[in-house]
């Protein structure tokens, strides 16, 4: 009763004959949809409705991110920190060729910016690539994917060689893709990062970058000193050439007169010559001894070393013992006796082993002889080569004599030039770098990429954002109506009732007249709520001609019409149910009455109203007019004045005239019938409501007559009735149930 009261209170009322009465249907409800701002509950409703879209998108993104992460080869990142200053430490204070500049502590200074860019110069990069042979690691071998292998297996790929010439690979460009240089703000520190396939390679590359950068910086500082050094070299060369010519003349004179000058360096060479002579003598002695033993063994078959060999001695002793045993046993047994044959085999085996051992000793002696011979030949050849070297050494003493004469006979100018040259050379070599290593590179112990946790987090956020975007996009594209609230908001019309979805087979069979056959069920009560809501919308003194239609076919309008008629009949009302859906007549089957003569026969003038009006014996107070035969255009029949006369007479005789009309979408029948009705009820399935179609249907009906009372939603998942209550209500005794039904019907 609370629902009925709410529906009643929601209708506008007026004073008629000192009584509060509802207004006419033409005044009920707004005619257009009211504006509606999206609230948090609407957003949550959309998210709940599109939860599978969000979840599927999220899972898809996470799957792609996981596959991408698993497909990546692991990489490692090593780093080092260096400090860059304008000037390094001074080791010597002479030989300077440049003037020191005061340091400017500013990261924006061009000097520091230049040094930062030099770290990323192609010269340093190419030097590192050459030193570490990074070509193979910068361009890894291509691995064919599963799809590529499949195409190659079926002959669709991989068989044709590329006709184009191989492109030149920019190794430095690939190197820079893995290199990252980051100056630390507010300091002269610079961090160097490099990403590689292995931790060892990452460390080696960072270390090599730092070393080559420091070396190039030192070489840059030495360029000025190099010019001065080259100038002094030319002056010294001119002064020393004369002295060199004099030394050549001196050496030539010493050679012509048989003079051998031996200095400190040559003394070591002479000692080596003596050692080679001594080694040659020892080698000849060893060769002679080895040759003598080998020849004696080869001719006589035995030498003293063989006689004292413990292996040979033991073999001979065993052979003698076996032969003695054989001779002793020969006195008793014949040679063919098994023991004699076995003993003979042992004797033969001992002889073979002794012969092999003697052969091994002979080969060993031969090997010793050959080794001694090779050693002798080697020493003899080395001695011959060294003698040639000694003779060459005597000729090459010119440079030493020239340097010594320079030290002794050069004049003051030559000494000054030479001293200055040496100072500049020392100063150039003593150049220190203004770059110091703060933190050297270490071997990374953890992978830098891939980072599964970060990737999954990014994938989770991306999937969630994409899922929400897809959800709201689908919601914007989807024109279907998802709930009764949406239907009320879009159309501005009330929901007169919500029929729950019937799942039990017994209830499905009796659904056509369930309000009468099973009044204790939830669907029956839902139809009674609908009938009551419609009844409260009419004034008692006006005709109640109600049109039941739907947007599309198969939405349950005929079932709704029969159940509303049964509900009014149960309330003690006199009801006329007209089947105006002549294209698809079904009411005669639902009510179990004859369709031999019906509405079409009346509209053709073949019979009067009394002849086509049939009482429904099952339901007292209910009368019906079936559709009749369908052989003429229904619109022309329904447009006849006889149809208007039927509604007028029916409204004056019966309390309610209920017309079951065809669907609005695609047929003009309902447009003709709605002009004859007091009110129109539209039946819609909750799972098949489309906003565009419903708006189109409302527009068509309102252009004819604005008498739409509201909507009835069937197959509702959230009906207003309480299933638990009706289950409990159904278990009451039949007598009590009949009393309650009678009281509720006439309340």
Query: Mean pLDDT over residues 172-196, rounded?
Result: 86
Q: Note the pLDDT of residue 229.
A: 67
Is 245 in a helix, a strand, or coil? Answer: helix
Give the tens place of pLDDT for each residue, 686-697.
777 777 888 888
Query: Mean pLDDT over residues 288-293, rounded?
Result: 74
Q: Note the pLDDT of residue 46.
A: 76
Asked if the model's pLDDT at residue 15 lies above 50, the reply is: no
DSSP, residue by residue, 112-143: HHHHHHHHT-HHHHHHHHHHHT-HHHHSPPP-
Give Cβ neighbours of residue 431 (< 8 Å, ≥ 6 apart).
88, 218, 221, 222
Q: Note the pLDDT of residue 646.
A: 92
Give Cβ neighbours of residue 41 (< 8 Å, ≥ 6 apart).
none
Asked if the model's pLDDT at residue 167 lies above 50, the reply is: yes
Least confident stretch, 108-117, 184-193, 199-208, 682-691: 108-117
Asked if the model's pLDDT at residue 658 lies above 90, the reply is: yes
More confident residue, 738 or 254: 254
Give the tens place of pLDDT for each residue, 550-604.
988 888 889 999 999 999 999 899 999 999 988 888 898 888 898 899 999 999 8
* CATH 3.50.50.60 fits domain 75-229+434-439: no
Give Cβ neighbours of residue 276 (< 8 Å, ≥ 6 apart).
379, 382, 383, 386
More confident residue, 596 or 15: 596
Least confident stretch, 158-167, 171-180, 200-209, 594-603: 158-167
Sign, CA dihedral 23-27-29-35, equals negative
Domain 2-32+492-742: CATH superfamily is P-loop containing nucleotide triphosphate hydrolases (3.40.50.300)
Pairing of the two strands 622-625 and 575-579:
parallel
Distance CA 286, CA 280 (A): 10
Q: Note the pLDDT of residue 177.
A: 87
Q: Note the pLDDT of residue 286.
A: 79
Q: Note the pLDDT of residue 140.
A: 65
Q: Note the pLDDT of residue 413.
A: 66
Q: Note the pLDDT of residue 98.
A: 52
* pTM of the entire predicted model: 0.45
Sign, CA dihedral 192-198-201-203, equals positive
More confident residue, 310 or 156: 310
Would you list the domain boundaries of the chain? 2-32+492-742, 38-72+450-480, 75-229+434-439, 264-408
Query: Mean pLDDT over residues 107-136, rounded?
Result: 82
Pairing of the two strands 679-685 and 656-660:
unpaired
Give the tens place of pLDDT for each residue, 494-537.
888 888 888 787 887 888 888 888 888 888 888 888 888 888 87
Contact in structure between 661 and 578 (CB atoms under 8 Å): no
Tokens representing 361?
Answer: 């000793």
Distance CA 261, CA 727 (A): 133
Is 562 in a helix, a strand, or coil? Answer: helix
Contact in structure between 639 and 672 (CB atoms under 8 Å): yes
Least confident stretch, 155-169, 230-244, 476-490: 155-169
Least confident stretch, 146-155, 292-301, 520-529, 709-718: 146-155
Q: Note the pLDDT of residue 108.
A: 66
- Residue-level length of the chain: 747
Query: Mean pLDDT over residues 56-80, rounded?
Result: 88
Q: Note the pLDDT of residue 734.
A: 47
Tokens representing 341?
Answer: 């044959």
CA 649 to chain centre: 75
Q: Count the neighbouring beta carbons within 10 Å of the beta carbon of residue 560.
A: 23
Distance CA 565, CA 551 (A): 21
Tokens 């340097």 belong to residue: 403
Distance CA 269, CA 233 (A): 32
| Mean pLDDT of the chain, nearest integer | 75
Q: Note the pLDDT of residue 747.
A: 29
Most confident listed range (92-96, 182-186, 585-589): 585-589
Query: Mean pLDDT over residues 442-451, rounded?
Result: 85
What is the percent of the chain with per-residue pLDDT over 90, rounded to a whole number?
9
Tokens representing 573?
Answer: 């009302």
Distance CA 443, CA 601 (A): 100
Distance CA 208, CA 201 (A): 10
Question: Per-residue confidence at 106, pLDDT binned at 50, 70, 90?
Answer: very low
Contact in structure between 569 and 591 (CB atoms under 8 Å): no
Q: Note the pLDDT of residue 660.
A: 92
Asked if the model's pLDDT at residue 228 lies above 70, the reply is: no
Are 2-32+492-742 and 75-229+434-439 in the same CATH fold?
no
Q: Note the pLDDT of residue 159.
A: 47
Distance CA 140, CA 192 (A): 23
Asked if the model's pLDDT at residue 277 lies above 90, the reply is: no
Distance CA 629, CA 203 (A): 95
More confident residue, 22 or 457: 457
Contact in structure between 451 and 65 (CB atoms under 8 Å): no
Asked if the model's pLDDT at residue 632 lies above 90, the reply is: no
Query: Mean pLDDT over residues 699-708, rounded?
Result: 89
Distance CA 294, CA 351 (A): 22
DSSP, residue by residue, 462-515: HHHHHHHHHHHHHHHH--EE-SHHHHHHHH---EEEEEEPP--HHHHHTGGGHH
Distance CA 195, CA 451 (A): 14
Q: In the chain, what's the furthest Cα-to-Cα distance? A: 166
Closest CA to 504 of 518, 516, 492, 487: 518
Asked if the model's pLDDT at residue 290 lies above 80, the reply is: no
Strand partners, 622: 575
Q: SS in 3 state form for 7-57?
A: HHHHCCEEEECCEEEECCHHHCCCCCCCCCCCCHHHHHHHHHHCHHHHHHH
Closest CA to 712 of 559, 590, 583: 559
More confident residue, 240 or 435: 435
Q: Note the pLDDT of residue 2.
A: 33
Q: Note the pLDDT of residue 578.
A: 94
Tokens representing 245?
Answer: 């010519």
């Amino acid at each position: 009763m609370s629902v009925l009261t709410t529906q009643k209170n929601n209708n506008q009322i007026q004073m008629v004959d000192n009584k509060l009465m509802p207004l006419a249907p033409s005044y009920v409800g707004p005619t257009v949809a009211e504006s509606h701002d999206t609230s948090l509950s609407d957003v949550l409703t959309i998210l709940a409705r599109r939860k599978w879209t969000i979840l599927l998108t999220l899972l898809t993104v996470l799957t792609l991110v996981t596959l991408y992460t698993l497909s990546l080869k692991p990489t490692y990142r090593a780093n080092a920190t260096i400090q860059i200053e304008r000037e390094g430490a001074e080791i010597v204070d002479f030989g300077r060729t440049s003037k020191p500049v005061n340091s400017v502590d500013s990261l924006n200074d061009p000097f520091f910016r230049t040094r930062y860019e030099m770290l990323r110069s192609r010269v340093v990069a190419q030097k590192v690539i050459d030193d570490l042979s990074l070509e193979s690691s910068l361009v890894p071998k291509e691995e064919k994917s599963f799809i590529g292998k499949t195409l190659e297996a079926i002959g669709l790929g991989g068989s044709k060689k590329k006709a184009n010439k191989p492109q030149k690979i920019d190794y430095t460009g690939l190197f820079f893709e893995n290199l990252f240089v980051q100056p630390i703000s507010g300091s002269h520190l610079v961090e160097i990062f490099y990403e590689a396939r292995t931790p060892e390679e990452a460390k080696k590359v960072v270390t090599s970058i730092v070393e080559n950068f420091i070396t190039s910086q030192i070489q840059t500082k030495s360029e000025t000193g190099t010019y001065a050094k080259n100038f002094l070299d030319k002056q010294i060369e001119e002064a020393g050439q004369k002295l060199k010519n004099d030394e050549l003349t001196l050496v030539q004179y010493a050679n012509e007169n048989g003079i051998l000058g031996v200095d400190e360096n040559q003394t070591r060479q002479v000692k080596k010559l003596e050692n080679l002579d001594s080694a040659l003598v020892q080698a000849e002695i060893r060769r002679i001894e080895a040759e003598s033993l080998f020849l004696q063994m080869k001719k006589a078959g035995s030498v003293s070393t063989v006689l004292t060999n413990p292996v040979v001695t033991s073999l001979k002793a065993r052979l003698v013992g076996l032969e003695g045993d054989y001779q002793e046993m020969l006195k008793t047994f014949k040679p063919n006796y098994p023991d004699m044959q076995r003993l003979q085999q042992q004797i033969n085996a001992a002889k073979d082993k002794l012969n092999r051992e003697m052969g091994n000793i002979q080969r060993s002696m031969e090997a010793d002889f050959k080794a001694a011979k090779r050693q002798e030949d080697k020493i003899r050849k080395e001695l011959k080569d060294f003698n040639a070297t000694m003779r060459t050494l005597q000729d090459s003493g010119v440079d030493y004599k020239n340097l010594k004469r320079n030290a002794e006979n050069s004049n003051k100018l030559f000494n000054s030039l030479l001293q200055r040259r040496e100072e500049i050379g020392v100063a150039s070599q003593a150049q220190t770098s203004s770059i110091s290593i703060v933190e050297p590179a270490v071997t990374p112990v953890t992978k830098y990429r891939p980072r599964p946790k970060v990737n999954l987090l990014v994938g989770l956020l991306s999937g969630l954002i994409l899922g929400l975007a897809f959800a709201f996009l689908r919601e914007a594209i989807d024109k279907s109506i998802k709930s009764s609230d949406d239907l009320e908001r879009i159309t501005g019309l009330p929901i007169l009732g919500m029929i729950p979805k019937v799942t039990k087979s017994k209830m499905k069979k009796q659904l056509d007249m369930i309000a009468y056959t099973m009044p204790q069920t939830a669907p029956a009560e839902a139809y009674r709520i609908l009938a009551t809501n419609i009844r409260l919308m009419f004034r008692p003194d006006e005709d109640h001609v109600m049109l039941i239609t739907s947007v599309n076919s198969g939405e349950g309008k005929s079932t709704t019409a029969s159940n509303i008629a049964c509900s009014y009949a149960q309330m003690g009302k006199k009801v006329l149910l007209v089947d105006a859906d002549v294209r698809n007549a079904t009411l005669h089957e639902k009510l179990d009455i004859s369709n031999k003569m019906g509405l079409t026969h009346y509209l053709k003038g073949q019979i009067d109203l009394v002849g086509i009006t049939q009482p429904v014996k099952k339901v007292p107070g209910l009368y019906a007019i079936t559709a009749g035969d369908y052989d003429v255009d229904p619109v022309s029949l329904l447009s006849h004045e006889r149809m208007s006369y039927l509604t007028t007479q029916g409204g004056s005789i019966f309390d309610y005239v209920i017309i079951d009309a065809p669907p609005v979408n695609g047929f003009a029948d309902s447009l003709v019938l709605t002009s004859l009705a007091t009110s129109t009820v539209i039946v819609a399935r909750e799972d098949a409501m489309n906003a565009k179609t419903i708006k189109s249907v409302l527009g068509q009906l309102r252009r004819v007559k604005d008498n739409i009372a509201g909507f009835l939603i069937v197959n509702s998942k959230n009906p207003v009735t309480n299933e638990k209550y009706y289950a409990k209500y159904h278990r009451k005794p039949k007598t009590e149930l009949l009393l309650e039904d009678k009281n509720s019907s006439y309340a």
